[in-house]
Amino acid sequence: MTPLFYLADLFGVMVFAITGALMAGRKSMDLFGVLVIALVTALGGGTLRDLILDNHPVSWIRDDTYILVASLAAVGTVLWVRLTRPINERGLLVADAFGLALFTVYGTEVALQHQVPISTAVIMGVMTGVAGGVIRDVICNEIPLIFQKEIYATACIAGSLVFIGLRHLDLAHELATGIAMLVVLLTRLAAIHWHLSLPQFHLLDRD
Amino acid sequence: MTPLFYLADLFGVMVFAITGALMAGRKSMDLFGVLVIALVTALGGGTLRDLILDNHPVSWIRDDTYILVASLAAVGTVLWVRLTRPINERGLLVADAFGLALFTVYGTEVALQHQVPISTAVIMGVMTGVAGGVIRDVICNEIPLIFQKEIYATACIAGSLVFIGLRHLDLAHELATGIAMLVVLLTRLAAIHWHLSLPQFHLLDRD
Amino acid sequence: MTPLFYLADLFGVMVFAITGALMAGRKSMDLFGVLVIALVTALGGGTLRDLILDNHPVSWIRDDTYILVASLAAVGTVLWVRLTRPINERGLLVADAFGLALFTVYGTEVALQHQVPISTAVIMGVMTGVAGGVIRDVICNEIPLIFQKEIYATACIAGSLVFIGLRHLDLAHELATGIAMLVVLLTRLAAIHWHLSLPQFHLLDRD
């Protein structure tokens, strides 16, 4: 991992930890709850990916900077909100889109290094990007947001496929990473700006 | 795995993916949500079993036909319902019982190949059969159906025990599989037909 | 593992299985549901720890006494309540604190044997102590209690850190275990007695 990519990865961890801490605050959790939800949101997707790929040790065991960054982000979020500074929701959405782009491409790459089928690589990319948020929502007793609102995971699928395609064409690693991240980022920002959503599947509950 | 067993396995994946897609529709999820819930329902139980048994690579990484079948089943379910064809609930229940029978026996066998205690083999059989549905219900914010209604997991326990017993008696593999699957299938169909349930454990909430 | 420690471990499994069975009773689950929730509560934390540490086979596969004890505790709880004996809530809380103390120290030690960073060892200790209860609450569709009420996980963090510190000082294993368990136990009993809680993080839901 290049130093630039490593810093970007830590930035993604920080952003996801902040979204976790904010959700925990909406559920009036105590400080420990805030910390756990922040850690799970930031590191859950990558952990699940590593378990399924049998890729040990998982990232935050190999390097405890991840735990440190996520914990500081959680504590920082609580302090920030306590000092009654408003949260810049728009800024957070953009930062979240950046973290999503990075996690997706990184997850896809880890999978490719394990010589898995393309379908698995895409699933691992999407899982790295979104599973932390899904676990966060499930623990907080919410139906996961990403299954109901605005194009989110679709952006991951697109970015993951673009990355796989460019790598098959032997494009330089940095360039493929940059282009694929841009695909996720722009798709996501467009979805936020124009409130784009996938069609929903409504089925009446007949039970 | 014999070709017949492989086809049956794919049939089980298809049926479980359909039940996942239908549940996602009841929660008005978007197309991506439908796809994820279908995949998780169809492949979650086997994945959890493989992780706990340290049995890598997991089935759908080794062979991407599983992902393909589950995805097509999800998309097909949405199209079928959109075209306003009613769902044959009864047919689906029978198909689900068949998938359950197959997953249970297969999960038990995978565990036996790892030389685990009998209790573990039964747990792995039941887990393969029902864990996908439990994860589906938890993500969709429902208390898992199988803990509250009609004999379901009990059918798995019976089938798993019968399979282990017959294999200890050195019965031919195909025959043991067939008989054990029949035990699950008939128990389940009888439970559906006569609305058989296990006794419930009611405890007043005193908090 | 010394015989005394092994017996204590089984006692912890029993206590956690009872709390699982009681929660299942509050949700009017059937007997199978009671059994599953009891097993998950008693063994879920250790299983998750072993998966993340790649520590195979997991405890209850290596030794099926764990499954047996948890199952008997679940069945015993149902019988006890059916015979209308009241539950000694206070006694259960104290027993739970003891199980928590033991699981936390044991989880920390397993992690230390894998030469992980200190942050990971603490997380593994806390996870072993509390994750079973969190999975129980999530399956039962409740926001996990430990994120909202009374000091619980904080007691685990303290005990885990004390254990790591004493082991670094080369204190005898039994002594370090005893002192660290006492830290968890006393912190927890004090929190129960005086209703101590961590500050909560309230954030208005603006969606």
- Res. B7: pLDDT tops 60: yes
Phi and psi for A151 in degrees, rounded to 5?
-65, 120
Residues of B in contact with C24 (CB under 8 A): 147, 201
Name the token pair of B123: 């747990």
B contact chains, 3+ CB pairs < 8 A: A, C
Name the token pair of A48: 């699940």
Q: With bands split at pLDDT 50, 70 and 90, how would you rate the model's confidence at C148?
A: confident
SS3 A115: coil
pLDDT for B181: 95
| Chain C touched by A205 (CB under 8 Å) | no
CB C152 within 8 A of CB C204: no
Asked if A153 and B56 come within 8 Å (Cβ–Cβ), the reply is: no
| Chain A touched by B26 (CB under 8 Å) | yes
Within 8 A by CB and 6+ apart from A61, the residues are: C52, C53, C116, C117, C120
Alpha-carbon distances, residue C154 vs A29, A103, B166, C124, C137 (angstroms): 14, 31, 50, 14, 19
| Domain definitions of chain A by residue range | 3-194
Residues of C in contact with B197 (CB under 8 A): 30
Mutate to test the interface with A, among C100, C134, C203 (most CBs of A within 10 A): C203
Asked if A61 and C116 come within 8 Å (Cβ–Cβ), the reply is: yes
Asked if A198 and B58 come within 8 Å (Cβ–Cβ), the reply is: no
| Chain A touched by C190 (CB under 8 Å) | no
- Res. B59: pLDDT tops 70: yes
pLDDT for B204: 63
The DSSP symbol for A145 reads: G
Phi and psi for A195 in degrees, rounded to 5?
50, 50
Residues of B in contact with A144 (CB under 8 A): 33, 139
How deeply is C4 buried, as exposed, middle or buried, from its count of CB atoms within 10 A (0-12, 13-18, 19+)?
exposed
pLDDT more than 90, % of chain B? 60
pLDDT more than 70, % of chain B? 96
Asked if C147 and A61 come within 8 Å (Cβ–Cβ), the reply is: no
Asked if A68 and C117 come within 8 Å (Cβ–Cβ), the reply is: no
pLDDT digits (tens, 9 = 90+) for A71-109: 999 999 999 888 866 777 787 888 888 889 999 999 999
CB A22 within 8 A of CB C137: no
CA distance linking residue A19 with residue C189, whole number of Å = 33
Roughly what angle, to the nearest 10 degrees, separates helices C153-168 and C89-113?
A: 40
pLDDT digits (tens, 9 = 90+) for C160-169: 999 999 999 9
Residues of C in contact with A60 (CB under 8 A): 120
Nearest to A96 by CA among A14, A194, A39: A14
- Res. B199: pLDDT tops 80: no
pLDDT digits (tens, 9 = 90+) for B97-118: 888 999 999 999 999 999 999 9
Q: With bands split at pLDDT 50, 70 and 90, how would you rate the model's confidence at C13?
A: very high
Residues of C in contact with A64 (CB under 8 A): 117-120
CA distance linking residue C140 with residue B76, whole number of Å = 31
Within 8 A by CB and 6+ apart from B21, the residues are: A201, B34, B37, B38, B73, B74, B77, B78
Mutate to test the interface with A, among C126, C137, C156, C201 (most CBs of A within 10 A): C201
Residues of A in contact with C155 (CB under 8 A): none
C-alpha atoms less than 13 angstroms from C-alpha of A125 in its C-beta half-sphere: 33
Asked if C143 and A138 come within 8 Å (Cβ–Cβ), the reply is: no
Beta bridge partners of A51: none
CB B88 within 8 A of CB B26: no
Roughly what angle, to the nearest 10 degrees, separates helices B3-26 and B65-82?
A: 40
CA distance linking residue C103 with residue A135, whole number of Å = 24
Asked if B61 and A198 come within 8 Å (Cβ–Cβ), the reply is: no
| Chain B touched by C53 (CB under 8 Å) | no
Asked if A143 and B141 come within 8 Å (Cβ–Cβ), the reply is: yes
What is the nearest CA distance from A159 to chain C, expressed in angstroms? 28
* Minimal Cβ distance to C25: which of B123, B157, B202: B202
- Res. A21: pLDDT tops 80: yes
* Minimal Cβ distance to C144: which of A25, A78, A139: A139
- Res. C185: pLDDT tops 80: yes
Q: Provide mean pLDDT across the span A1-9.
A: 82
pLDDT digits (tens, 9 = 90+) for C25-80: 888 888 888 999 999 999 999 999 999 999 999 999 999 999 999 999 999 999 98
pLDDT for C207: 39
Alpha-carbon distances, residue A43 vs A17, A65, A203, B15 (angstroms): 8, 12, 34, 32
Q: With bands split at pLDDT 50, 70 and 90, how would you rate the model's confidence at B194?
A: confident
Complex-level ipTM = 0.89
What is the nearest CA distance from B55 to chain C, expressed in angstroms? 11
CB A100 within 8 A of CB A129: yes
Mutate to test the interface with C, among A19, A22, A27 (most CBs of C within 10 A): A27
What is the nearest CA distance from B98 to chain C, expressed in angstroms? 20
What is the nearest CA distance from A98 to chain B, expressed in angstroms? 20
pLDDT digits (tens, 9 = 90+) for C109-141: 999 999 999 999 999 999 999 999 999 999 998
Roughly what angle, to the nearest 10 degrees, separates helices B3-26 and B89-113?
A: 130
Alpha-carbon distances, residue C9 vs C4, C14, C107, C124, C132 (angstroms): 9, 9, 11, 16, 15
